[in-house]
Amino acid sequence: MESSTFVLFGATGDLAKRKIYPALYNLFLDGKISTPLSVIGLGRRELSNEAFQAQVLNSLQTFSRKPAEDSEKLRTFIQAFEYTVLDVGRPEDYVKLLGHVKAREEDLGIPENRMFYLSVGPEFFGEIAANINSSGLGSTKGWKRLVIEKPFGTDLASARVLNESLSAAFKEEEIFRIDHFLGKPMVQNLEVLKYSNPVLRALWKNRYIANVQITASETVGVEERAGYYDKSGALRDMFQNHMLQLLMMTAMQLPKGSTPEDVSNKKRYVMESLRPLIKDDLTRDVVLGQYAAGEIKGNPVPGYLDEPGIDSSSRNETYIAARLWIEDPMWNEVPIYIRTGKRMKEKSTRIVIEFKEPLNDYNNLNKGNTDPNLLIIDISPNEAITLQLNTKDPLRTGKLEPVRINYQLGNPEIPESYENLIYDALRGDSTFFAHWDEVELSWQWVQPIQEAMEAGVLPLHSYAAGSHGPAAAAELLGDDHWWLDE
Ligand code: NAD
């Protein structure tokens, strides 16, 4: 991999401090970043290079996975960081930035490979891309790439407007849209799990799979993000992006030796195959909820409407569950249940595959009494694979009992999401990023829900903080039930 310049917009922000600097440092220690390294941080405030480097050091000491003790390596890493003042709306600042980038490229002998990482609000994305283009920053002899993070629009129309402005300056293959769920080891493991295990591969079809359940539950409430969250809600904040990405990763079928382009095509195919929601049937397929007061781990917590910064008449959803169908020979008639919410009983992101045909008639003792085989993929905060099988209890009546065979990751050497994703973006590998078609099709699929919410025709169910969500979400499943809501 050739050296490049990492140009970071929003270098004094929270994301940069908590995730981006530690990720770069760990990649550097692992020898995954080409040297010499040049990072140019941008922000509105005046800041000397030394003061900026002190901020970076502080971030490493606070948030890095590997220790940031004083060493030659650490000093070399910190020296790579320089700072330039830039207001995103001032074109002359970009010309100054170009001068800085070029001077360092020449000084350090770095080819004109430039990565523009936009760790700023999405309202700035279009303007920054246009200024990168018009200032000449984007006219490189090497490669140029743009890294952005959700939200990619707030609905289908705004996502399209944003994409048009980005594509005026960058080609689709130069745009790396981060969905940090895709950087998680267990999500990156899904393909291997499905296709490198003949046992699972043979069963990965609608003949054997009863249903798929994808859950991302949080125990926290809105925290300091009230202003943002009260406009966004669970649909925009989680469902349209992270949850549908998990669905695509679970359902896509890749050819052997697949390329990033194959991944993009197969994910698009999943989204194109989703049965569209019908306005009149929405209440059958979608459940919205908002948390009321309750208890989290024994501590009383207020309801959503009593949270600081939330409008006391807000109809914003803090929970959404939906039933989806993929109209494709492999997934036909397999319901996919997705749910995500705040102030739930457990913090967990997990995929459960329930297999069909429990051995109901194995013997009379167990008639109608056996549990199905389950494949449980814990993504976060646990990282584990669990297989639930039935065995005969030799001590007692010979009854069948479910047992869970568990493999747990938990090695501190495992890179964090942002390390995986920044490394891939630097290598130009877009496998684990959100591509435009997926983003567009996801907005398109959720549009009827957004319209129904705006029209106020979808009921908003209340659920107690610390519960598994509204009772209506259990009814959504009919004869099935959510697994692991013990
Ligand atoms: P932040 O408010 O902490 O930082 C924003 C940065 O943008 C600051 O460095 C600020 O100086 C800069 N900025 C603001 N206006 C500017 C202007 N006019 N010109 C130049 N710079 C300007 O925000 P954050 O939490 O770091 O988030 C950045 C982006 O990443 C947001 O789009 C957010 O949605 C997204 N994001 C953040 C997190 C997170 O964990 N913080 C997680 C996922 C996504």
What is residue 291's three-state secondary structure? Answer: strand
Q: Would the annotation count 347 as a binding residue?
A: yes
Ligand 1 mean position to 120 CA, how many Å?
A: 3
- Mutating to test ligand 1, I would choose from 15, 118, 231, 237 the residue with most ligand atoms within 8 A of its C-beta, which is 15
> Any catalytic annotation for residue 242?
yes
Asked if residue 250 and residue 365 are part of one domain, the reply reads yes
pLDDT category at 363 given cuts 50, 70, 90 is low
How many folded domains does the chain comprise?
2
- Ligand 1 site, residue 85, Cβ cutoff 6 A: no
Enter the tokens of residue 388. 């639930």
- Mutating to test ligand 1, I would choose from 14, 223, 417 the residue with most ligand atoms within 8 A of its C-beta, which is 14
pLDDT category at 410 given cuts 50, 70, 90 is confident
Asked if residue 245 and residue 377 are part of one domain, the reply reads yes
Write down the pTM of the prediction.
Answer: 0.95
Asked if residue 141 and residue 192 are part of one domain, the reply reads no
Here the CATH number for the domain that contains residue 130 is 3.40.50.720
Structural domain range at position 402: 182-422+434-476
- Ligand 1 site, residue 41, Cβ cutoff 6 A: no
In the predicted model, is pLDDT for residue 177 greater than 80? yes
Helix (H) or strand (E) holding 119: none
Here the CATH number for the domain that contains residue 385 is 3.30.360.10
Atom number in ligand 1 closest to CA 17: 26
Over the chain, what is the mean pLDDT? Answer: 94
| Calpha distance 348→344 (Å, rounded) | 9
User: In this predicted model, what pLDDT tens digit does every residue of 121-165 receive, in sequence order?
Assistant: 999 999 999 999 999 999 999 999 999 999 999 999 999 999 999
- Ligand 1 site, residue 87, Cβ cutoff 6 A: yes
Q: Would the annotation count 16 as a binding residue?
A: yes
pLDDT value of residue 398: 72
Please state the rounded mean pLDDT for residues 427-449.
97
pLDDT value of residue 389: 94
* Predicted ipTM of the assembly: 0.95
Asked if residue 240 and residue 102 are part of one domain, the reply reads no
Q: Which residue's structure tokens are 């009149």?
A: 280
**Four-CA torsion 156, 448, 463, 184, nearest 10 degrees:** -40
- Ligand 1 site, residue 185, Cβ cutoff 6 A: no
Query: Any idea which of 296-300, 357-361, 463-467 has the lowest mean pLDDT?
Result: 357-361
pLDDT value of residue 62: 97
Q: What angle do CA 23, 25, 26 make, to 5 degrees?
A: 65
pLDDT category at 447 given cuts 50, 70, 90 is very high
Domain membership flag for residue 169:
no
| Ligand 1, atom 31, residue with closest C-alpha | 121
Residue ending a domain, choose from 131, 149, 167: 149
Asked if residue 189 and residue 125 are part of one domain, the reply reads no
User: In this predicted model, what pLDDT tens digit does every residue of 378-389 receive, in sequence order?
Assistant: 999 999 999 999
Q: Would the annotation count 399 as a binding residue?
A: no
Q: Would the annotation count 266 as a binding residue?
A: no
In the predicted model, is pLDDT for residue 399 greater than 80? no
In the predicted model, is pLDDT for residue 357 greater than 80? no
pLDDT value of residue 371: 86
- Ligand 1 site, residue 36, Cβ cutoff 6 A: no
User: In this predicted model, what pLDDT tens digit does every residue of 195-235 receive, in sequence order?
Assistant: 899 999 999 999 999 999 999 999 999 988 999 999 999 99
**Tally of CA atoms within 13 A in the half-sphere of 140 that contains its CB:** 23
The β-bridge partners of 380 are: 349
Which of 100, 242, 435, 468 is catalytic? The answer is: 242
Enter the tokens of residue 71. 């060493």
Domain membership flag for residue 174:
no
